[in-house]
């Protein structure tokens, strides 16, 4: 944040105005932040024409991103991950410095040999756990973590490869608003006790239960990503003025008390939380339909929303660590060296973005935001 200081001498005013005061200083704050280029530690890019349409938004703001593997078919092998990586690189804007960090989709049939191969590839950085049926394209996910997947987890510990978890149970008898809490109790806590050396990222946390769990674990072993939507929206946002399909995501938005707990956690300066947008583009027709897809496309607005949250909390001095330091430090990667500028400049979010097959509606479509990010 830059300050411009203008000095007004007492002689510039009638002498009767000033008896003791000899000099007046007026500070005018120019709202501009220069921070280390952020990374996105949880990103959906899809494939084909949709990939080509959305990747410029992430590449414009972020240096690297952990790429989610829930395509159709899912990215379950090292060979598939490397091929997907090549597709992403080909779709990037010319001269882009964006680096995709690939992941594998964990299944009941994943082998320890595949984990070893992934580690040796040099381009795969984590393995993603989707409980079967938990979210978009998760039907091939894990059904028996503590049975069929234990040899794979042991191999991941051996190679210090993080496990990224979609932290929800899928049992139909569990209320959708309680799925994260029950996952922590029945899956994540036992897993961490069994494998204390396993690095785990609890993705897109949505509850105070998740915040408390992450804070209770050893720093450097358990961390969490936090999305823009779970910082600024609560479950009322799904129903204001009618059903709002573009605010529907999984894990679903929660109560206001949970949102406040997450805001407190990320703006506290804790190293356990870092940026992960969970930006998830869907064609407009797949969102605005009788059975709409879960996912919020926030890549174009994410940094503006994060800055808003930290500004309102009086914690702009802690924004850079959350966006740019905590993630690479946890993954054991170097921090970016380039910069990005955030200016307090009002701008209007586009109503939609067109691509070959249709339109994608971004978060806060048509609304005004206060912070405008741009590369230095």
Does residue 116 have an active-site annotation? no
Strands 222-226 and 32-36, by their bridges, are unpaired
**Residue 258 C-beta-side C-alpha neighbours within 13 Å:** 23
- 316: DSSP letter: G
Q: Which residues contact 54 (CB under 8 A, 6 or more apart)?
A: 45, 46, 279, 281, 297, 299, 353, 355, 360
Does residue 166 have an active-site annotation? yes
Q: Which of 313, 265, 306, 224 is nearest to 33 (CA)?
A: 306
Compute the distance between CA of residue 294 and CA of residue 275 in angstroms, rounded to an integer. Answer: 20
Q: Which of 225, 114, 132 is nearest to 171 (CA)?
A: 132
- Of 42, 61, 199, 246, which one is the catalytic site residue? 42
- Of 39, 40, 44, 258, which one is the catalytic site residue? 44
Does residue 47 have an active-site annotation? no
Q: Which of 253, 250, 251 is nearest to 236 (CA)?
A: 253
Does residue 258 have an active-site annotation? no
Does residue 128 have an active-site annotation? yes
- Of 166, 181, 258, 282, which one is the catalytic site residue? 166
Compute the distance between CA of residue 137 and CA of residue 188 in angstroms, rounded to an integer. Answer: 22
Does residue 359 have an active-site annotation? no
Q: Quick one: tokens of 45? A: 């890019």
- Of 57, 181, 199, 204, which one is the catalytic site residue? 204
Give yes or no for a contact between 266 and 184, defined as CB atoms under 8 angstroms apart: no
- Of 57, 61, 128, 199, which one is the catalytic site residue? 128
Which residues are known to be catalytic? Answer: 42, 44, 128, 166, 204, 278
């Amino acid at each position: 944040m830059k300050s411009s200081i203008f000095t007004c001498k007492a002689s510039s005013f009638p002498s009767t105005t000033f008896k003791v005061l000899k000099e007046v200083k007026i500070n005018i704050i120019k709202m501009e932040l220069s921070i280390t280029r952020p990374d996105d530690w949880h990103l959906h890019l899809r494939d084909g024409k949709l990939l080509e349409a959305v990747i410029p938004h992430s590449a414009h703001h972020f240096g690297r991103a952990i790429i989610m593997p829930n395509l159709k078919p899912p990215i379950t092998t090292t060979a598939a991950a490397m091929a997907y990586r090549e597709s992403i690189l080909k779709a990037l804007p010319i001269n882009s410095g964006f680096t995709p960090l690939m992941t594998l989709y964990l299944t009941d049939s994943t082998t320890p040999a595949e984990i070893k191969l992934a580690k040796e590839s040099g381009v795969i950085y984590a393995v993603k756990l989707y409980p079967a049926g938990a979210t978009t394209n998760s039907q091939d996910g894990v059904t028996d973590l503590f049975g069929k997947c234990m040899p794979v987890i042991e191999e991941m510990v051996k190679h210090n490869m993080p496990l990224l978890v979609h932290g929800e149970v899928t049992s139909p008898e569990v209320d959708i608003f309680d799925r994260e809490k029950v996952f922590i109790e029945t899956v994540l806590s036992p897993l961490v006790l069994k494998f204390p050396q396993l690095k785990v990222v609890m993705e897109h946390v949505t509850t105070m239960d998740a915040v408390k769990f992450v804070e209770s674990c050893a720093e450097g072993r358990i961390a969490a990503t936090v999305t823009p939507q779970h910082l600024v929206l609560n479950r009322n946002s799904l129903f204001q003025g009618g059903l709002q399909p573009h605010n529907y995501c999984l894990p679903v938005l929660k109560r206001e008390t949970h949102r406040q707990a997450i805001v407190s956690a990320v703006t506290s300066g804790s190293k356990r939380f870092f940026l992960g947008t969970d930006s998830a583009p869907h064609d407009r027709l797949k969102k605005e339909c009788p059975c709409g897809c879960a996912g919020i496309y926030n890549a174009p607005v994410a940094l503006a929303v994060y800055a808003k949250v930290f500004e309102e909390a009086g914690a702009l001095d802690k924004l850079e660590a959350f966006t740019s330091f905590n993630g690479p430090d946890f993954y054991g990667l170097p921090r970016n060296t380039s910069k990005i500028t955030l200016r307090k400049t009002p701008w209007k979010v586009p109503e939609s973005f067109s691509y070959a097959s249709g339109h994608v509606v971004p978060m806060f479509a048509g609304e005004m935001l206060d912070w405008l990010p741009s590369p230095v």
